[in-house]
A and B are shown apart, each in its own frame.
Chain A
Amino acid sequence: MSLCYAYYPGCSGLGTSLEYDTSTRALCESLGIELVEIPDWNCCGSTPAHAVDHLLSACLVGRNLGIADDMAEERKLDGILTPCPSCLKNLKTTQHRLADPEFHRKVELVVGRTLTADLPIKSVLQMLVEDLGLEALAKLVQKPLAGLKVVPYYGCIMIRPPQIMQFDDPENPMALDNLLAELGAEVLPFALKTDCCGASLGTTRKDVIAKLSGRILDAAEEAGADAIVTACPLCQLNLDMRQSQINKANHSGHNMPVFYYTQLAGLAAGQGETSTMMDKLCVSPRPLLASLAGRTGEGA
Chain B
Amino acid sequence: MSSSPKTFDSEFIAEVQRESEQNLALCYQCGNCTAGCPVSFAYDYPVNQIMRLVQAGRKQEALSSHAIWLCASCETCTTRCPNDIDVARIMDVLRHMARREDIVSEKAVGAFWKAFLESVEKHGRVFELGLMANYVSKTGRMFTDVDLAPMALRKGKLGLRAHDIKKLAEIRGIFDRYREQKQ
Query: A-facing mask of B107-130, CB < 8 A → 1, else 0?
Result: 011001110110110001110100
CB < 8 Å neighbour of A50 from B92, B152, B167, B173: B92
Q: Is the CB of B158 within 8 A of A42?
A: no
Instruction: Say if the beta carbon of A59 comes within 8 Å of chain B.
Output: yes
Q: Is the CB of B79 within 8 A of A162?
A: yes
Q: How far is the CB of A208 from chain B (nearest CB, A)?
A: 6
Instruction: Report the stretch among B3-11, B26-34, B54-62, B66-74 that lies at the interface.
Output: B66-74
* Chain B residues within an 8 Å CB radius of A200: 72, 112
A241/B112 contact (C-beta < 8 A), A207-B42, A280-B156 known: no
Q: Is the CB of A204 within 8 A of B181?
A: no
The total of chain B residues at the interface (CB under 8 A) is: 58
A-B contacts, CB under 8 A, total = 166
Q: Is the CB of B79 within 8 A of A170?
A: yes
Q: How far is the CB of A153 from chain B (nearest CB, A)?
A: 14
Q: Is the CB of B74 within 8 A of A196?
A: yes
Query: B-facing mask of A49-62, CB < 8 A → 1, else 0?
Result: 11111111001100
Query: A-facing mask of B88-105, CB < 8 A → 1, else 0?
Result: 100010011001000000
CB < 8 Å neighbour of A18 from B116, B147, B156: B156
Q: Is the CB of B109 within 8 A of A160?
A: no
CB < 8 Å neighbour of B144 from A53, A63, A206, A241: A206
Instruction: Write the residues of chain A forming the contact surface with B, with a CB cutoff of 8 angstroms.
Output: 11, 14-16, 18, 40-43, 45-56, 59-60, 63, 89, 106, 109-112, 156-157, 160-162, 170-171, 195-196, 198-208, 211-212, 241-242, 244-245, 279-280, 282
